Amino acid sequence: MSSSRRIVIAVFPDVDLLDVTGPAEVFALANRETGGRAGYLVQLAGPSSGVVTTSAGVRLIADLSFDSFTGPDGGGVLDTVLVPGAVDLHPDGPVARIDQDVVAWVKTVAPQARRVASVCVGAHLLAAAGLLDGKRATTHWSTAAQLAADHPAVTVDPDPIFVRSGKVWTGAGISACMDLALALVAEDLGEQVALAVARQLVMYLKRQGGQSQFSVPLSRPAASRRDIEELRTYIAEHLDHDLSAAALAGRMSLSARHFARVFRQETGTGPAAYVEAARVEAARRLLEGTDLPLEQVAAGSGFGSVETLHRALRKQLDTTPAAYRRRFRTTTS
């Protein structure tokens, strides 16, 4: 389809299975959540078309060969090229494998694509192809030192869950492929679609180093009571409303004392702490993904004032809004 967003994922012997299937599932759910409006078309490309055995022993079928991208049509129109990775286990720990077939393919297709992204140790392949020189990038924490040593022209930051540098994205380790794919969906279709996909995946996410990842409300265990689960959704969608314990108790038609006890039993935290965490999460997304002034970030996340926003981020993340934005921003500078 000419209107589709064509995503081609590299596959090769011993590739990490989740690095391939995780993003593919995110894009498939985005199609479903939008009734097909997202238009994602996911294809696999390998050294040859046909069977590729992953590190898990599960076999995948490559739709296309790498050579098919060097023909007259260059493999067709590309939206996104996604490069997963593979590791070899050494006595001192995992070492990212540099598959020269993949490196050569990346050099061929990168100029054709709107964006290029790596998953986990796939960053080493992008670096070997010269795509990360002069850029900031991340990878799995266990191979970050290897990436920095092998490619001194790359600024390696092992902390963020993903990094965007122009048209090139790099993601951190293993399950972070889901966060990266959600970020790509958010860029294409907006935060609300990405959040809807995250809810379908029931993702319980914590950013490495203590920074919360996509959707703090989903980082809590699911409630057994439907009314509490519905209240959590209400909180996430009405952060600028009165979400005091008294107001929430009134919404549940419970006494404040009984509501607080039930809410803590179902979520593991008190109402005030939960609301503050949800507002911090909303502020985090705005700081990462927009250039809005702090007054608008505070208003949009329900804090009301920049001073309150400062206090909350200092309390929960031990940082300031400006420092957080400098470190974790995902918009193109």
From 38, 120, 125, 243, the catalytic residue = 120
Mean pLDDT value across the chain:
87
> Taking residues 93-104, what's their average pLDDT?
93
**How high is the pLDDT of residue 71?**
56
Whether 145 shows a pLDDT value over 60: the answer reads yes
Which of 288-298 are b and which e, b meaning 16 or more Cβ less than 10 Å from the residue's Cβ?
bbbeeebeebb
Whether 213 shows a pLDDT value over 90: the answer reads no
**How high is the pLDDT of residue 245?**
94
Whether 288 shows a pLDDT value over 50: the answer reads yes
CB 264 within 8 A of CB 221: no
**How high is the pLDDT of residue 221?**
52
Q: Which domains does the chain have, with CATH numbers?
A: 5-201 (3.40.50.880), 215-333 (1.10.10.60)
> Taking residues 197-213, what's their average pLDDT?
53
Whether 97 shows a pLDDT value over 50: the answer reads yes
120 included as an active-site residue: yes
**How high is the pLDDT of residue 211?**
38
**How high is the pLDDT of residue 99?**
94
**How high is the pLDDT of residue 46?**
96
Confidence of residue 2 (pLDDT cuts 50, 70, 90): very low
Whether 207 shows a pLDDT value over 50: the answer reads no
Confidence of residue 4 (pLDDT cuts 50, 70, 90): confident
User: Which of these ranges, 3-7, 67-71, 85-89, 101-105, has the smallest mean pLDDT?
Assistant: 67-71
**How high is the pLDDT of residue 204?**
39
**How high is the pLDDT of residue 3?**
57
Confidence of residue 214 (pLDDT cuts 50, 70, 90): very low
pLDDT digits (tens, 9 = 90+) for 231-251: 998 998 899 999 999 999 999
**How high is the pLDDT of residue 295?**
96
pLDDT digits (tens, 9 = 90+) for 31-67: 999 998 899 999 999 999 999 999 999 999 999 999 9
Confidence of residue 209 (pLDDT cuts 50, 70, 90): very low
Whether 217 shows a pLDDT value over 60: the answer reads no
pLDDT digits (tens, 9 = 90+) for 108-121: 999 999 999 999 99
